[in-house]
């Protein structure tokens, strides 16, 4: 999901949490940015709308990167490496769980064996190189 879609989703969550009816919501968009729909907002306008909703009382929920798995000692080093790679990529443990499912048909990173964890570390390293991050 790109940053634009994330901000659009936040706008719609804020609208619902603030209890804005459609008419009021569209009036705010028109007043701030001269548009009738959030889909017409550009990259500079999206944060303005979010700031206005915060001014009106909306409090965005800080997202967490998920619960860190608690591996046995023999997997702790690989799990720490995975955690560092996820953090550098600003990705969650849910992303790693998705990779585990995709690569090994295992639902959770916690449940991977040592060889599978090593392959996951290697896949994250390839992803890092592909996106210009240090491995």
- Is residue 48 assigned to a domain? yes
The per-residue pLDDT for 50 is: 93
The per-residue pLDDT for 116 is: 95
- Is residue 50 assigned to a domain? yes
Please provide the size of the chain in residues.
Answer: 135
The per-residue pLDDT for 68 is: 67
Verify that 51 and 78 share a domain, yes or no.
no
- Is residue 126 assigned to a domain? yes
The per-residue pLDDT for 133 is: 84
- Is residue 68 assigned to a domain? no
Where the chain has pLDDT below 70, the residues are 1, 62-68, 135
Number of separate domains in the chain: 2
Verify that 83 and 110 share a domain, yes or no.
yes
Residue 127, classed as helix, strand or coil, is helix
The per-residue pLDDT for 62 is: 60
The per-residue pLDDT for 1 is: 60
The per-residue pLDDT for 87 is: 87
The per-residue pLDDT for 12 is: 92
125 and 114 Cβ atoms separated by less than 8 Å: no
Crossing angle, helix 93-104 and helix 73-88, to 10 degrees?
A: 110
- Is residue 51 assigned to a domain? yes
pTM for the whole thing? 0.51
Verify that 42 and 81 share a domain, yes or no.
no
DSSP 8-40: HHHHHHHHHHHT--HHHHHHHHHHHHS-SSGGG
- Is residue 63 assigned to a domain? no
Verify that 50 and 80 share a domain, yes or no.
no
Verify that 12 and 51 share a domain, yes or no.
yes
Verify that 38 and 77 share a domain, yes or no.
no
The per-residue pLDDT for 20 is: 94
Q: Say which residue the tokens 């409090």 belong to.
A: 59
Show the domain range for 38.
3-55
The per-residue pLDDT for 37 is: 94
């Amino acid at each position: 999901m790109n940053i634009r879609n994330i901000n659009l989703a936040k706008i719609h969550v804020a609208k619902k949490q603030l209890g804005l009816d459609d008419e009021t919501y569209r009036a705010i968009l028109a007043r701030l940015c001269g548009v009738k729909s959030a889909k017409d907002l550009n990259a500079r306008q999206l944060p303005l709308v979010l700031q206005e909703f915060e001014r009106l009382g909306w409090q965005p929920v800080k997202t967490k990167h998920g619960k860190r798995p608690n591996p046995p000692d023999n997997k702790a080093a690989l799990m720490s490496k995975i955690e560092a790679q996820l953090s550098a990529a600003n990705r969650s443990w849910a992303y790693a769980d998705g990779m585990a499912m995709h690569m090994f048909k295992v639902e959770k990173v916690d449940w991977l064996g040592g060889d599978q964890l090593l392959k996951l570390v290697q896949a994250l390293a390839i992803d890092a190189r592909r996106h210009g991050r240090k491995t």
